[in-house]
Amino acid sequence: MTVLTERPAPVPEDDAPAASGQLRLVVAGSVDDGKSTLVGRLLHDTKSILADQYDQLEHVSRSRGADGFDLALLTDGLRAEREQGITIDVAYRYFATPRRSFVLADTPGHVQYTRNTVTGASTADAAVILVDVRNGVSVQTRRHAAVMALLRVPHVVFAVNKMDAVDWDQQRFAEVEADVRRVAQRVGIEHTAVLPVSALTGEGVAAPAPEWVEGPGLLSLLEQLPARRSLTDEALRFAVQLVVRPRTESHPDYRGLAGRVGSGTVRVGDEVIAQPSGQRSTVVGIDGPRGEQPEATAGQSVTLRLADELDVARGEVLSGVDDPTPVSRSLQGVLCWLSEDAAQARQRVLVKAGTRVTRGMLGDLEQLWHVDDQQWQDGDGHLELNDIGRVTLQLAEPVAVDGYLEHRRTGAFLVIDPDTGVTLAAGMAGGHLGEAHTAS
């Protein structure tokens, strides 16, 4: 396929080093901060647009009276979005430079869609939060910074956009940068980058910024950020999804535990412990898509055969005997409330941790994160849509859950409405928002 752009794509700094590995990126910002235009700029300047797509959107741009190509149209794929001129869902985009490939989660800017920002940030290696230089730090800026800190996104870059609208006023940028850094410090993000950009003109993104701007542009910086530490380097976590017992003539006695290696490596001969039951055994076989294999690493879906017929089922977590997953009948953590129906103390819910779903009950709202003041305050008993609060949940059965700080994947859980099946909240075991953290 032919890929065309209207003009030659700017080339990032040639001497900029590149980090290895694909980077998962989430882009967030308030409405009209220029988020869609920035995403469109990244796609345009990395030549990630097909010729027919470019021609179609150029025609649409002109039919609307635009002087040139409207970059925001590249991201507003839904008709409803185009009609309203806003982004209303999470969309994943893929683009690459000669130095690195990216998976970009484009999240909505409206406050009622903060849940989509949580979704996009939950797997991100880095975040770009847009700030309109004319308006400075907004409530949404504080909220997005809190979400990125809560979800421990390793790298957070604040892109101060629309610098062309203030003639690249260095003093104005310095004022906004100071406010942004205070926000980042209050939520516990110690090291962050603040860059002046113009998504409309491309300056500071891939094209050079004025001489007073120090450091790399946005695209070059994203190429240099280290990818997250490999999940293979972490402790073994294997959530059982299914007990496989075919009972066929060819496999009369076969019994295996199917699932995905969430982190770490499991090898034949390893001693493992199943939590929460606490039963131990030794791995005697690993069956993958192409047959038996000596080991399986993070991300691989396999079936483990054990030396003993443990009475385990879906929901158990296998780990190494030296670093077992903690077990508890209560979960104390931070919830991002995602439902329009407010949370009530003693509300009955379902809790999904890994592959295990169990009944639970919400405790009292212990503390509420105040977005404006950026600090914990005593709760008033209710969690409203997009609120962030510290809550303890009592569970009907013990579950195996890590602290979110130690294991991002097995430290997260969902709170679900038992009647409708709707997700009510995203939870992180432990409560670290506001505590300083650095990129891992």
Same domain, 175 and 97: yes
Q: Round the average pLDDT of the chain to a whole number and report it.
A: 84
- Which position has the token pair 């509300």? 347
pLDDT of residue 338: 87
Give per-residue pLDDT as tens, 74-116.
Answer: 665 544 544 454 444 567 788 888 889 999 887 766 666 677 7
CATH assignment at residue 47: 3.40.50.300
Render pLDDT for 166-223 as a digit per residue (tens, 0 to 9).
999 999 999 999 999 999 998 888 778 999 999 989 999 999 999 999 889 999 999 9
Query: Residues 296-338: pLDDT tens digits?
Result: 999 899 999 999 988 888 999 999 999 999 999 999 889 989 8
Which single residue is written with the structure tokens 């409560």?
431
Residues 207, 253, single domain; the answer is no
User: Is 9 within a domain?
Assistant: no
Query: Residues 180, 267: one domain?
Result: no
More confident residue, 10 or 331: 331
Write the pLDDT tens digit of every residue in 72-83.
666 655 445 444
- Domain shared by 157 and 252, yes or no: no
440 inside domain: no
Angle of the 139-150 helix axis to the 170-187 helix axis, nearest 10: 40
CA gap 96, 217 in Å, rounded: 16
Burial bucket for residue 410 (CB in 10 Å: 0-12, 13-18, 19+): buried
Q: Which domain holds residue 110?
A: 22-224
Least confident of 13-22, 46-55, 201-210, 362-371: 13-22
The residue-averaged pLDDT of 137-141 equals: 91
Position 435 scores a pLDDT of: 65
Output the pLDDT for position 77: 55
Calculate mean pLDDT across residues 393-413.
90
